[in-house]
Amino acid sequence: MAESQARTRRSAEELKKGRRRSMSEFQAGAEVLQVKGLTGGYSPRRPVLHELDFTVRAGEMMGLIGLNGAGKSTTVKHLLGLMAPHRGEVKIGGTTLEADPERYRGSYAYVPEAPVLFEELTVEEHLRLTAMAYGLDEKRYAERRDRLLEEFRMGPKRGARAAHLSKGMKQKVMLMNALLAQPALYIIDEPFLGLDPLGIRSLLDRLTEERAKGAAILMSTHILSTVETYCDRFMLLHGGRIREMGTMDEVRMSRGAEGDTLEEIFYRVVEESDADGRGA
Ligand SMILES: Nc1ncnc2c1ncn2[C@@H]1O[C@H](COP(=O)(O)OP(=O)(O)OP(=O)(O)O)[C@@H](O)[C@H]1O
């Protein structure tokens, strides 16, 4: 146990080196994520992403959708700074990764599709680690922790080690960590995998609340009905290109597709893109 606490402290110190930017530092509507001309991928000779241009503003939820292999995860890897652009740039919190790595990394929380946890740490130790890393004071930490444990129905598991949690519970810990930190930008990859219906509802309610408080949210998912209901705007990637972007109304209007669902628009865009030879 002492060893796990020491590890918690060490990891927190590592994370704390950065200057964290919370969403309260951003004006409503400010462009928290700015992507300009991003061309990138795994080999400079064969880019996967082509000239992506988009922003996510404070107080906005953007859905990132596309078929398997469209380039969603590759886009996210570029945003996280795990891959360098071949051309173009990515700014988070007003800075590129090169210009100010600490501020850049401190401005977002990332929730991956597959949970990444310390097997030996308990649920509560994970939350405490995040609180230490983001410099939360004890009072605020305790308030947010208790609320999240209740909302995600994880109270009974607060003392359980990650190794002993179910798949969905592990995912909940990742989400609770992000929500505890309250960053300027949430980058969330397929958040609903493994969550039960109550967990999905809690997450959507909380994301809606965070957005109302000024958070910017980029959410990649295959659940189109959720994008249609909850996201302010969406971008549809196909073959590493943005083939549609905007609000549902904007896209319907520009395509003359009044009354169409996102699913109908999605199929049409994919068919058109394949027909003109620019598909995946
Ligand atoms: N590590 C890698 N090395 C080389 N190419 C890769 C690698 N990972 C993905 N790719 C390729 O990049 C392209 C985009 O893949 P990506 O994982 O970004 O798709 P995605 O939209 O996230 O798909 P999914 O919905 O299946 O998660 C695909 O052609 C894929 O084969």
Q: Establish whether residue 72 lines the binding site of ligand 1, counting it when its CB lies within 6 angstroms of any ligand atom.
A: yes
Q: How many distinct structural domains can be found in the chain? A: 1
Q: Which domain holds residue 25?
A: 2-275
- Whichever domain contains 208, its CATH number is 3.40.50.300
Q: Mean pLDDT across the chain, nearest whole number?
A: 88
* % pLDDT > 70, the chain: 89
At residue 110, does pLDDT exceed 80? Answer: yes
- Position 168 in a domain: yes
Nearest CA residue ID for atom 3, ligand 1: 42
Instruction: Compute the average pLDDT of residues 226-245.
Output: 95
* pLDDT confidence of residue 139: 94
CA distances from 109 to 175, 179, 181, 201, 267 (A): 9, 8, 8, 20, 31
- Position 73 in a domain: yes
- Position 217 in a domain: yes
Do residues 181 and 161 lie in contact, with contact meaning Cβ atoms separated by under 8 Å? no
* pLDDT confidence of residue 10: 52
Q: Which of 243, 8, 265, 277 is nearest to 125 (CA)?
A: 8
Distance 48 CA to ligand 1 centre (A): 8
Nearest CA residue ID for atom 24, ligand 1: 68
Instruction: Compute the average pLDDT of residues 131-160.
Output: 93
Distance 88 CA to ligand 1 centre (A): 20
Main-chain dihedrals φ then ψ at residue 172, nearest 5 degrees: -60, -40
Burial class from Cβ neighbours inside 10 Å (0-12, 13-18, 19+) for residue 73 reads middle
Q: Establish whether residue 191 lines the binding site of ligand 1, counting it when its CB lies within 6 angstroms of any ligand atom.
A: no
Nearest CA residue ID for atom 8, ligand 1: 74
As a whole number of angstroms, the distance between CA 50 and CA 235 comes to 14
- Position 40 in a domain: yes
Distance 70 CA to ligand 1 centre (A): 7
At residue 127, does pLDDT exceed 50? Answer: yes
Tokens standing for residue 29:
């509507």
Q: Is the dihedral of CA 170, 147, 199, 57 positive or negative?
A: negative
Nearest CA residue ID for atom 30, ligand 1: 69
- Position 178 in a domain: yes
